[in-house]
């Protein structure tokens, strides 16, 4: 999780005890700060058995039927846990899955140190960081995983490379359409928030197609599907 985000995080308040101490008072989880309160989840920094970690807790949505809300929460936590587990097992740069409770709707993962790609690009990053982003996305796709919410806020520039985070809308289904949609979401983000870097998406694709024989993954077909999606969006706009 971004160091910049942690610096501006809200202090932990005891009233949040039920959220940030999933195991109760005698817990291997120690909370530190509420990082983010979003529409679908609350994110808290802390430590897991002394190791820097992040807790994500799905929040109830009042507009949904309680049974449907609970079902969606369990499904998404389970899916995110499976995704992280696969990435961890196969040596792909990603947060490490530390613990989860599907019924209660929370997951604990290792903290990824470094600034977000968003802040890095806004700071005028030099070099080809977008190429590294493309390589990281390909490595995730090559494992049959789509991200589902790919933006520059959901990527951390760590010492080991660009790490994608927040797989809450990810899928463990190797479908070309979803891979293409990841590229399209990223393209929309780069166009809207990083227009001062007009070659950014081209560099992402360059990284995505780099060394095509290394993993047996058909990256070219994904890029073709991305271009097809762009055409459909332009046509309906």
For 125, phi then psi, to 5°, come to -55, 135
Which of 61, 85, 110 is the endpoint of a domain? 110
* C-alpha to C-alpha distances, 58 to 167, 205, 209, 226, nearest whole angstrom: 13, 33, 35, 31
pTM of the prediction?
0.86
Residues 100 and 10 in one domain: yes
pLDDT band at residue 219 under the 50/70/90 scheme: very high
Residues 105 and 126 in one domain: no
Structure confidence at residue 138 (pLDDT): 97
**Total domains, the chain:** 2
**Measured on CA atoms in the order 206, 172, 181, 57, is the torsion positive or negative?**
negative
* Helices of type H across 49-161: 66-89, 117-122, 129-141
Residues 132 and 82 in one domain: no
Residues 86 and 183 in one domain: no
Residues 166 and 89 in one domain: no
Tokens found for residue 129? 């960081």
Mean pLDDT of 154-160: 96
Residues 183 and 157 in one domain: yes
Tokens found for residue 30? 């120690």
Catalytic residue among 69, 101, 128, 149: 149
Residues 82 and 38 in one domain: yes
Average pLDDT of the chain, as a whole number = 87
Structure confidence at residue 215 (pLDDT): 86
- Residue 222 and residue 176 in contact, taking contact as beta carbons nearer than 8 Å: yes
Which CATH number is 106's domain given?
A: 3.30.200.20
Which of 31, 91, 116 has the alpha carbon at shortest distance from 215? 91
For residue 94, the enclosing domain spans 3-110
Which of 78, 110, 142 is the endpoint of a domain? 110
pLDDT band at residue 135 under the 50/70/90 scheme: very high
Helix axes 219-236, 176-193, angle to 10 degrees: 60
Residues 124 and 218 in one domain: yes
Residue-wise pLDDT for 24-67, tens only, equals 656 899 999 999 888 788 999 999 999 999 999 988 776 778 88
For 105, phi then psi, to 5°, come to 80, 40
For 203, phi then psi, to 5°, come to -70, -35
Which CATH number is 204's domain given?
A: 1.10.510.10
149 is catalytic: yes
Residues 121 and 101 in one domain: no
For residue 12, pLDDT beyond 50: no
- Residue 173 and residue 181 in contact, taking contact as beta carbons nearer than 8 Å: no
In percent, the amount of the chain with pLDDT more than 90 equals 68
């Amino acid at each position: 999780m971004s160091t910049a985000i942690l610096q501006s995080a809200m202090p932990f308040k005891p009233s949040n005890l039920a959220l940030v101490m999933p195991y109760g008072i005698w817990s291997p989880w120690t909370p530190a700060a509420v990082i983010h309160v979003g529409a679908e989840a609350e994110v808290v920094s802390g430590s897991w058995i002394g190791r820097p970690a992040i807790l994500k807790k799905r929040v109830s949505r009042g507009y949904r039927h309680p049974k449907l809300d609970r079902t969606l929460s369990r499904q998404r936590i389970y899916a995110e846990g499976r995704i992280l587990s696969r990435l961890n097992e196969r040596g792909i740069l990603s947060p490490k899955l530390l613990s989860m409770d599907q019924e209660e709707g929370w997951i604990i993962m290792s903290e990824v140190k470094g600034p977000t790609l968003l802040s890095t690009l806004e700071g005028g990053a030099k070099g080809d960081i977008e190429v590294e982003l493309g390589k990281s996305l390909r490595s995730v796709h090559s494992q049959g995983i789509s991200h589902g919410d790919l933006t520059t806020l959901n990527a951390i520039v760590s010492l080991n490379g660009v790490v994608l985070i927040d797989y809450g809308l990810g899928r463990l289904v190797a479908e070309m359409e979803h891979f293409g949609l990841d590229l399209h979401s990223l393209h929309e983000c780069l166009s809207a928030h990083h227009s001062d870097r007009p070659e950014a998406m081209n560099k992402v694709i360059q990284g995505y197609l780099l060394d095509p024989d290394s993993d047996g993954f058909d990256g070219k077909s994904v890029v073709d599907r991305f271009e097809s999606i762009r055409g459909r969006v332009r046509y309906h706009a």
